[in-house]
């Protein structure tokens, strides 16, 4: 009989914050660059009749454990059933024996580590004097991306666009109160992007939302929404004039923001400057001038889910928070 530690959504949110996630994710990027991780391709199953998808992301860190995140994304859940669109679990196993040690709710893990990855990218790629942020997509990740950036930058102004006006207004009100920032809802993507030092795109779009002409010199873009083949948020012309950094090239060229631009011959792999881990590890330079446009293309890395969950597991066990289940 094996005893497994089960950690709920509320317990994750109590035990672990954005600062903790940023540290864990930054450590992951270095480990990945140094070859101290394993991460096979993502397994994806589409449920066409119900508009859903199941993904299995797995891997290991030599300093932590081996594990897998199994998540489902059913976009119709909130309006149809009043259920969250994203659900799932992260299963952690002992690295030496493979014995399961913990099951962690995946929803807060996904939100935290993705927001943290955007923050780490901006730390190395955005101008240090960045003060204005444009948010495209006012859902969960639009919130966590801003939370991550707020940990590292002295933000003075945020302009946020969502395709549903009420959601944008609610986002502006909630994030202003939560972070003490000047967050304004705007009526068009252009209003969010123009004059922004940092732009975040966090939507499920399959056609460009951000026009190349709107992006100012010296801007940094966190392209977060494209995480499966066919998704696209940026005008491909932006990619031709920007320094492109990816989280994992093997995944991004198949399912990231760069996937369509590559398949259509607009750019090729020679246009990809680096994986972020090589910049964090000091093997390549990040931003090199105040005028260059930088892009971070992120599909999400399993090792970030695993490292974040493992840190939470250790804290929960130390504090006696969680439930032990015999399986």
pLDDT at 2: 85
> What tokens does 61 get?
């860190």
Residue 241's pLDDT is 94
The reply to whether 141 and 103 lie within a common domain is no
Report the domain count for the chain: 2
Question: What string of pLDDT tens digits covers the 327 residues of the chain?
Answer: 788 999 999 999 999 999 999 999 999 999 999 999 999 999 999 998 999 999 999 999 999 999 999 999 998 998 899 999 999 999 999 999 999 999 999 999 999 999 999 999 999 999 999 999 999 999 999 999 999 999 999 999 999 999 999 999 999 999 999 999 999 999 999 999 999 999 999 999 999 999 999 999 999 999 999 988 999 999 999 999 999 999 999 999 999 999 999 999 999 999 999 999 999 999 999 999 999 999 999 999 999 999 999 999 999 999 999 999 988
Of the candidates 155, 55, 116, 90, the residue with the CA atom closest to the CA atom of residue 305: 90
In a domain, 120, yes or no: no
Task: Say if 76 falls within a structural domain.
Answer: yes
pLDDT value at residue 1: 76
Helix 140-152 vs helix 106-125: crossing angle, to nearest 10: 40
> Are residues 157 and 63 part of one domain?
no
Active-site annotation holds for 69? yes
Alpha-helix residue ranges (DSSP H) falling in 136-272: 140-152, 165-179, 189-193, 236-240, 249-255, 258-263
Tokens 């939100």 correspond to 111
The reported pLDDT for the residue numbered 310 is 97
The predicted structure's pLDDT at residue 75: 86
Residues 132 and 99 in one domain: no
User: In terms of domains, do 320 and 255 share one?
Assistant: no
Tell me: do 262 and 147 sit in the same domain. Answer: yes
Dist. CA 113–CA 303, nearest whole Å: 10
**CATH number of 315's domain:** 3.30.1780.10
Same structural domain for residues 283 and 143? yes
Q: How much is the pTM?
A: 0.95
How far is it between the farthest Cα atoms of the chain? 61
Evaluate the CA torsion angle 42, 301, 230, 239 in order and state its sign.
negative
| Pair 135, 192: CB distance under 8 Å | yes
Residue 121 domain-assigned (yes or no)? no
Q: Give the active site residue among 57, 69, 123, 231.
A: 69
Question: Quick one: 170 and 51 in the same domain?
Answer: no
Q: Which domain holds residue 66?
A: 3-109+303-326
Residues 25 and 133 in one domain: no
pLDDT of residue 45: 95
The CATH number for 132's domain is 3.40.50.720
Q: Which of 221, 305, 261, 269 is nearest to 42 (CA)?
A: 305
Please tell me the predicted confidence (pLDDT) of residue 141. Answer: 95
d(C-alpha 277, C-alpha 274), whole Å: 8
């Amino acid at each position: 009989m094996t005893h497994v530690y089960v950690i709920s959504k509320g317990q994750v949110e109590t035990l672990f914050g954005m600062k903790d996630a940023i540290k864990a994710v930054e450590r992951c990027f270095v480990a990945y660059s140094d070859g101290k991780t394993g991460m096979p391709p993502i397994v994806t199953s589409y449920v066409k009749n119900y508009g859903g998808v199941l993904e299995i992301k797995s891997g290991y860190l030599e300093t932590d454990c081996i594990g897998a995140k199994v998540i489902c994304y059913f976009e119709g859940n909130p309006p149809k059933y009043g259920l969250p669109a994203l659900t799932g679990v992260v299963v952690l196993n002992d690295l030496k024996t493979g014995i399961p040690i913990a099951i962690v709710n995946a929803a807060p893990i996904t939100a935290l580590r993705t927001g943290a990855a955007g923050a780490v990218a901006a730390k190395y790629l955005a101008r240090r004097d960045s003060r204005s942020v444009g948010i495209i997509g006012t859902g969960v990740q639009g919130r966590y991306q801003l939370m991550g950036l707020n940990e590292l930058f002295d933000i003075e102004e945020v302009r946020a666009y969502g395709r549903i006006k009420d959601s944008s207004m609610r986002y502006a009100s909630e994030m202003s109160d939560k972070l003490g920032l000047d967050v304004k809802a705007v009526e068009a993507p252009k209003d969010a992007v123009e004059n922004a030092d940092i732009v975040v795109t966090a939507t499920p779009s399959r056609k460009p939302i951000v026009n190349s002409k709107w992006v100012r010199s010296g801007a940094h873009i966190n392209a977060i929404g494209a995480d499966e083949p066919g998704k696209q948020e940026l005008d491909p012309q932006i990619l031709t004039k920007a320094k492109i950094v990816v989280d994992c090239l093997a995944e991004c060229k198949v399912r990231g923001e760069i996937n369509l631009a590559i398949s259509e011959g607009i750019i090729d792999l020679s246009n990809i400057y680096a994986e972020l881990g090589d910049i964090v590890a000091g093997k390549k330079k990040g931003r090199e001038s105040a005028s260059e446009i930088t892009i971070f293309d992120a599909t999400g890395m399993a090792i970030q889910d695993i490292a974040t969950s493992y840190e939470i597991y250790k804290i929960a066990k130390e504090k006696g928070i969680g439930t032990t289940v015999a399986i």
